[in-house]
Each structure stands twice: as C-alpha cells, then as structure tokens.
Amino acid sequence: MSEGEKPAVRLLHLHRNDNVAVLMQDAEIGATTRHGARCISIPTALGMGHKIAVAPIAKGADVLKYGAPIGFAARDIAIGEHVHLHNVTSRYTVIEDMEAGQR
C-alpha cells in the first residue's frame, strides 16, 4: 500500500447469488473494496452494516440478500452504490404489515 492509500474496506457477501454485500466497517468517500477479482469504489461515506451493490442492478430487478429477494430496484443501481430505501422498493405491502401487527 502506497503512502496516503487507504486499506480496502471489508465486505460480508452472504450468499453466492446476492447482488449486494454488507460493509463490515465504515467506508469513507472514495474507499475501495474487493469482491472476487473486482475492485469496487464506494462513492459515498457509509457506516458499517450498510449494503452496497456488488453487481449492476437494473431498475425493476430483484435486490438479493441471503440468497432471496428483499425488494426490487426503484432505479438502476451501479456497482459500489449504497443500496437502501432511496433506491429499493420493498416487496412487503402495507396490508401484510398490518396483518403482522394483529398476530
């Protein structure tokens, strides 16, 4: 590592089919990480536990975590981009949430 270069941020990729991975530590703007042979740049500062895309996710495509869909992309999501409420639509409906509260 050269002077001024930051160490790579560690990721937790939970399932081989997942298109997101979880940050295992805070990431500064421009931090990098590795996923397989790919070097990924993280364009925004993010805290530990947040998800980033490890593959491009097209608008309308499933966002996969734990090998299962957790929602779908509300817009195209680039590799390294934060994956959260601002660009993912949940698959859960208001009715399902209301019914869960009545149990």
Domain boundaries of the chain, sorted by first residue: 11-101
Q: How confident is the model at residue 91 (pLDDT cuts 50, 70, 90)?
A: confident
**Beta bridge mates, 73:** 88
Copy the structure tokens of residue 82.
């934060």
Copy the structure tokens of residue 63.
């966002």
What's the pLDDT at 70? 92
CATH code of 11-101, in short, is 2.30.130.110
- Pick from 88, 81, 86, 28: nearest CA to 54: 81
Copy the structure tokens of residue 71.
């929602």
Q: How confident is the model at residue 90 (pLDDT cuts 50, 70, 90)?
A: confident
Measured distance CA(22)–CA(9) in Å, rounded = 10
What's the pLDDT at 98? 53
